[in-house]
A = this chain, B = another copy of it.
Amino acid sequence: MLKEAVLHRHGSDWVYALNRLEIVFRLRTGKNDLTGASLLWMDKYRVIREKPVNQTLPLVRVASDELFDYWEVVMKPEGRSLYYLFELSDIGSRLYYGNCGFYRQLPEEFRNWYEMPYLNEQDVFTLPDWAYDAVVYQVFPERFENGDKSNDPEGVSDWYGKVSSKTMLGGDLEGVIRRMDHIEALGANTIYLTPIFESETNHKYNIVDYYRVDPHFGDLETLRRLTSEAHRRGMRIVLDAVFNHCGTGFFAFRDLLENQEKSAYREWFDVRKFPVRVKDYPNYASYSYFGSMPKLMTKNPEVAKYLLEVSKYWIREADIDGWRIDVATEVDHRFWRDFRIAVKTLKPDALIVGEIWHDAAPWLSGDQFDTTMNYPFRQAVIGFTATGEISVTRFDEVLGELRGNYKRQAWLALWNLLGSHDTERFLYLCKGNRDMAKAGVLLLMTLPGTPMIYYGDEVGMTGGPDPDCRRGMIWDEAKQDREMLAFYRDAIGLRRRYRCLRRGDFETVYCRDDVCVYGFRRSDEAGSLDVYLNAGNEPHEIRFSGSVDACDLLSGRIYSSAEGSGSITLESLKPVVIEWRKPE
């Protein structure tokens, strides 16, 4: 047994409350190293009074990545504190794994067992229930739709022209309201807007006034109409919280520039030397080395209070449904803990999404964010489809690692994306190959996690790295890829119709590097669906047995079995979503 691969840590994310009743026990072991694993537990305090009874529960291997298997079991402690440990079996041997290591015999002393102290409701990581049904549509407001020409900035460019980092097209909130039918018809039910507060740039990530909707976008009244229009349709609005840094026009930074050392807001920033230098490498802490984005010192209680008030203001005044957190990792954890409490106290079903490009587990323990933008998912899908850089096996391993890294609550609601305002568009990476793009979209809509659609992807927009990925939305139907749009609607429709695609478990059922075919199953109490994708160039036949029909929900085609067996031909880049049905 590969002891070095075994991992569990009590009091950590390896044992956590799923809800007010259930505890998940997790264990990592070497890949294919064990034949089985069990949880042994007993009531911690009964051992003081009476002979304890060991209880045993088998663990289930729920995921694997390159090096490890991940095991889980869920149990209801019913108000008890527990002692527990794991029994690990491989061929011919058995070890017990507890607080102080490995044992050949079941250890008698309880200090060698792990402890599950108490299920405290306060420590339960709870996401709003709607998070698990969300289909997110990301809008970059300056480029989505110009709904109100009267608030356009000066020098607006041609809507369908090439865009630079300075381009202004005149998009606004009125445009989002006007185009909500499009978003709703697509099947999305959550709109994430990149920043909308006053700022000189088109992206508005350098905010001048946190309390004012950018005048080129509208005003508080427009935002209120937007959220109420969304809510009327059962949709939700998530705004972008840029709290790591502000713009140089922010009142406190203006005061600093004017009064230098004597500014009352000196401690809102981290100035290394006076006088303050904005150009070139600034002499104060900033986002990257951008003088235009001075870092806000959230360690200063005044700053923290100011930003917490902002976060509450827009919930209270405009009834928004959540915050996406910009540059989440560069702000201190204590601030995010306070932020969570402030937001959730005011609106318990608000959602908090961190922008984290790497593994986000330290922020997803339950005390900070609900979920994260899942860039590692994007990278894996690109590698498996667009670039072909990773094998089917490696793709499967990355999915296994994501499951292994996160609590189940977050894992099922990770904001999966294929592209954003910060990356190339997916179709661009597919070099315009629409079948390949569709294959990626189907993975997005059927794998565990919340799908995010970057505005315009659904009508076949393309674009390289920022600023090219921020072109004006294509509204001209003649210019839209209507077939792509139909595919998006179908795939989202499937997701919305089948609960197992949103909340169901996940299992790999087919993984062949030689032919580049991947298959997985999503299942819940109500049933299951099998998704297959052939990312290779040649058709591939998969065979099935039993008296059952395979119905591909995408094409509507039915593959029947004859004399107890049947087959499905997977064409290159034509995914299928199979529902198994009894023949009529």
Contacts and interface: CB of A to CB of B under 8 A. Distances in A.
Interface in A63-108: 66-68, 79, 81, 99-101
A5 interface: yes
Interface stretch (A235-243, A257-265, A324-332, A535-543): A324-332
Contact of A45 (B11, B122, B288): B288
A117 interface: yes
A272 B363 CA distance: 34
A9 interface: yes
Given A46-B289, A114-B358, 18 more contacts: A4-B4, A5-B5, A7-B7, A11-B329, A11-B358, A11-B361, A11-B363, A49-B289, A111-B357, A111-B358, A111-B375, A111-B376, A115-B357, A118-B329, A120-B299, A120-B332, A121-B299, A123-B334
Nearest to A244: B118
A2 interface: yes
Nearest to A375: B111
A330 B45 contact: no
A495 to B, nearest CB: 27
Contacts of A359: 9-11, 99
A150 interface: no
Contacts of A357: 111, 115
A331 B10 contact: no
Contacts of A337: 337, 367
A362 interface: yes
A486 to B, nearest CB: 33
Contact of A298 (B122, B298, B333): B122
B10 A289 contact: no
A362 B16 CA distance: 12
Interface in A355-386: 357-363, 367, 375-376, 379
Q: State the 9 A-B residue pairs at the shortest beta-carbon distance, nearest first.
A: A120-B332, A122-B332, A117-B329, A4-B5, A45-B288, A11-B362, A118-B330, A122-B299, A117-B330
Nearest to A366: B333
B376 A100 contact: yes
Contacts of A2: 4
A3 interface: yes
Contacts of A376: 100, 111
16 contacts: A4-B30, A10-B362, A11-B329, A11-B359, A11-B363, A12-B362, A46-B289, A111-B357, A111-B358, A115-B329, A115-B358, A117-B329, A120-B298, A120-B330, A121-B299, A333-B367
Contacts of A121: 299, 332
A2 to B, nearest CB: 6
Most chain B beta carbons < 10 A, residue from A4, A270, A298, A379? A4
A299 B121 CA distance: 7
Contacts of A288: 45, 48, 81
Nearest to A100: B376
Contacts of A30: 4
Contacts of A9: 359, 361-362
A335 interface: yes
Contacts of A270: 79
Contacts of A299: 120-122
